[in-house]
Structure 1
Amino acid sequence: MTTPHFITSLAGAAALVVGLSGLSATPASTAPAVGEEASIPFVSAGSIRDFRVVDRDTLYVQDIQRNWYRAELMAPCTDLPFAETIGFDVRGTNRFDRFSSVLVRGQHCPLKSLVVSAPPPKKAKKKG
């Protein structure tokens, strides 16, 4: 007994992609544009690599491919600037996106948006 295949050949897969997208068969960039709404898949498999907190309303999240995303929260998350660890509540979807929440010391902090971003700004060095 053979396993059923949805697409049985590379040529068939290419024809399907071109047919569905309405584009030519020339390669296109798959990288999302800065500022574009995004999601990070496979959160339970460790696809989030790092995070940087800006303030009570904003943080940057880095995926395992070292892409950065800027997460804006719906409301201030009081303990976020002081958190050493945070959780990512994806509500069973396994995708971190604008419908997800950040967990900080037991507090659920829902996202307003998650967009592709440049790396977070560097922190200013203290004079002293």
Structure 2
Amino acid sequence: MIRTILAVTALSLAAPALAEEAAAPPAGDQVAIPFASREIIEWKVDGNRGLFIRANGKWYYARTQADCRRMIPSIGLGFETSPGDQLDRYSAIHAQGWRCQLDSVTRSEGPPKKHRKG
């Protein structure tokens, strides 16, 4: 009983810190990708919450509000744009039947370069 109370107390104390970390603002200013339905050329999945997107000759980084576990590199993705056909923080990504709401879209230098072996 005491262990349960201690565990619940520890979790309740840690919850605000975890929520604060998850709600941390992205690096850089929020932007919108104009004409997203026509201009998105490629994307690279970055874990369960991020996506590098190349459009209009520039790279952007889109982060989802929560984990989007079906967003994997080997599948096609759908982009639900905001009014005016722009991809921004009010847009969403569709991955294998899941709708993943975006939290932010910022400018990026692009995905990290892979080092060749050998």
- Give the letter for the 2:103 counterpart: K
Q: Does structure 1 conserve the Cα–Cα contact (< 8 Å) formed by 2:82 and 2:88?
A: no
CA separation of 1:124/1:114 partners in 2, compared to 1, >3 Å: closer, same or farther? same
The runs of at least 4 consecutive aligned structure 1 residues that moved more than 4 Å come to: 124-127
Alignment of 1:17-28 (within 5 A): none
Aligned counterpart for 1:88 among listed residues 48, 56, 79? 79
Q: Does structure 2 conserve the Cα–Cα contact (< 8 Å) formed by 1:83 and 1:104?
A: no
- Aligned residue pairs total 92
Point out the structure with max Rg over C-alpha: 1
Supply the distance in 2 between the matched residues of 1:109 and 1:124 (Cα, whole angstroms): 31
CA separation of 1:91/1:120 partners in 2, compared to 1, >3 Å: closer, same or farther? same
Alignment of 1:19-38 (within 5 A): 35-38=28-31
- Structure 1 stretches lacking a partner, 5+ long: 1-33
- Structure 2 stretches lacking a partner, 5+ long: 1-26
Aligned counterpart for 2:36 among listed residues 17, 25, 43? 43
Aligned Cα RMSD in Å? 2.0
Aligned residues with identical type, % of pairs: 30
TM-score, length-scaled by structure 2: 0.69
Larger % of helix: which? 2
Alignment of 1:100-115 (within 5 A): 100-115=91-106
